[in-house]
Amino acid sequence: MHVPNKAQFYEAMLRDDLSSFIQRTFATVDPGAQYLHNWHVDLIAEYLKACTDRDIKRLIINIPPRYLKSIAVSVAWPAWVLGHAPSSTFLASSYSDKLALKHSVDCRLVVQSAWYRKVFPQIQLVRDQNEKSKFVTTARGHRIATSTGGTATGEGGDFLIVDDPHNPRQAESPTEREKTLEWFDQTFYSRLNDKKNGVIVVVMQRLHEKDLSGHLLAQGGWEHVKIPAIADSRTMIDFGRIRKTRSPGELLHPEREGKPEIAKTQTALGTYGFSGQYQQEPVPAEGGMIKKPWVHRYKTPPAHPVRIVQSWDTAYKPNQINDPSVCTTWAETQLAYYLLEVWRDRVEYPRLKSAVKSLAEKWHPNAILIEDKASGQSLIQELKASTPLPIIAITPEQDKLTRMSAQSAQFEAGKVFIPDSAAWLLDFEKELFTFPLAEHDDQIDSTSQFLGWVSNQQQSYGYSPVKGDGHRFKRQGAW
């Protein structure tokens, strides 16, 4: 009985396991860099294997930049498939000729390597068709590179790859985006040799809500793998051999990009850029009820506000964790409202009650608004009975959309300020600028509750709004 040695065992592993093959490919195309393995590489490999087997024929992978997406999808995968089936044909595209050629050269480098020839000895390249943009096997398989907008005249593939179709610098241009979408719909898609059994894989960072991923997802029929840099909720991943649970706030690959690095990236890209490129949730700059230009920013909150107000949107059930509860804390001046902090968590009643007390102790509010609905009634009653906190019960009138619509003028008038940076800002902006289409609206409900109450209470508090620039304060030392 023949017992394979270590080298033979390793070669068999590279032949059978795409994730291991991706790791070996990395060492070939970037030999000076350290490879740090992570679960997301295994997940991508599982999805690509499903595409190889035709179990998935339309796949979109959205993942932050520099997380091995191109090495996995555009370099390793075509080489691995050609090793198993040398007659396979690939047509691979990127937004620039330079990038497309790099991926092609890297893939050819792998196919011509000594270790690859040991793993897949049956594959050979045709010498007179071995170019930077194209290589052909003796079984008439090929990998051809093209760019977004390129014609690839006469060339097609069993597998089409679109790797970063948009130039990040041009993604905000409607004209440039439309060119890319038209190229995919009218030109690139038609290059598929077999429309029924052919495979298309799109891998990219999100750059705009109407980028190619957004365009295709709106059509339906695509398997979607979204891998954010920071998990925004508890996420269960169960595909192929992968079983993974991501907790809220969990980083994608902390050994490679930890909290300090992510924070620097978020500062450099800004909330809008980070939301798309790293979180795969592009926030529409325009299109929601509240427009981005309406919202002002501040670096330092006012030193002597007229009053501090906290607005609670509660959500709990007695014996289980339900939707998030939210508290927004505001500083009010005679001309504007400054959002100081957003607290948001899924908690049971005892922790919710403790949170109200601790946030009140932190900010010393003049008023604490709590919506007088099923989940807030007992909270209002208990806090009024057991604490001196300035609890004010708010009876909701009309639906959430109508309530926020009534307060949109406050934003448009430039009266609402949010900070330049804060740990909670990304989630708040996403919800604010996508409302009423956002997945959640608890932060918006808290905000509209505050704005509605405060605009009706100015006279009773002993002052009227003044017109003009600057701030005039009646009260000192509110901090």
Claim to verify: residue 241 and residue 388 sit in the same structural domain = no
Q: With 60 as the cut, is the pLDDT of residue 273 above it?
A: yes
Q: What is the pLDDT of residue 266?
A: 84
Which whole number is the average pLDDT over 110-123? 97
Claim to verify: residue 114 and residue 86 sit in the same structural domain = yes
E strand or H helix at 163: strand 159-163
Q: With 50 as the cut, is the pLDDT of residue 286 above it?
A: yes
Tell me if 329 is assigned to some domain.
yes
Claim to verify: residue 183 and residue 323 sit in the same structural domain = no
Q: With 70 as the cut, is the pLDDT of residue 322 above it?
A: no
Q: What rounded mean pLDDT belongs to the chain?
A: 89
- Tens of pLDDT, residues 3-42: 678 888 999 999 999 999 999 999 999 999 999 999 999 9
Beta carbons of 226 and 62 less than 8 angstroms apart: yes
At which of 248, 277, 306 does a domain end? 277
Which whole number is the average pLDDT over 381-407? 89
Q: What is the pLDDT of residue 267?
A: 78
For residue 350, give the nearest of 328, 373, 325 by alpha carbon: 325
Beta carbons of 349 and 337 less than 8 angstroms apart: no
- Whole-model pTM: value is 0.66
Tell me if 210 is assigned to some domain.
yes
- Tens of pLDDT, residues 344-381: 998 888 999 999 999 999 999 999 999 988 778 889 99
**Residue ranges making up the domain that contains 321:** 292-457
Q: What is the pLDDT of residue 159?
A: 98
CATH number at residue 413: 3.30.420.240
Following DSSP, what letter does each residue of 72-123 receive, concatenated? IIIIIHHHHHHHH-TT-EEEEEESSHHHHHHHHHHHHHHHTSHHHHHH-TT-
Highest mean pLDDT (candidates 74-83, 393-402, 425-434): 74-83
Claim to verify: residue 141 and residue 112 sit in the same structural domain = yes
Claim to verify: residue 105 and residue 222 sit in the same structural domain = yes
Tell me if 313 is assigned to some domain.
yes
Tell me if 175 is assigned to some domain.
yes
Q: What is the pLDDT of residue 18?
A: 98
Claim to verify: residue 82 and residue 210 sit in the same structural domain = yes
CA distance 176 to 124: 40
Tell me if 427 is assigned to some domain.
yes
Range of lowest pLDDT (229-233, 336-340, 397-401, 410-414) = 397-401
Which whole number is the average pLDDT over 414-436? 91
Domain count, the chain: 2
pLDDT band at 478 (very low <50, low <70, confident <90, very high): very low
CATH number at residue 271: 3.40.50.300
Q: Please identify which residue in the block is written with the tokens 């979408």.
A: 181
Claim to verify: residue 302 and residue 260 sit in the same structural domain = no
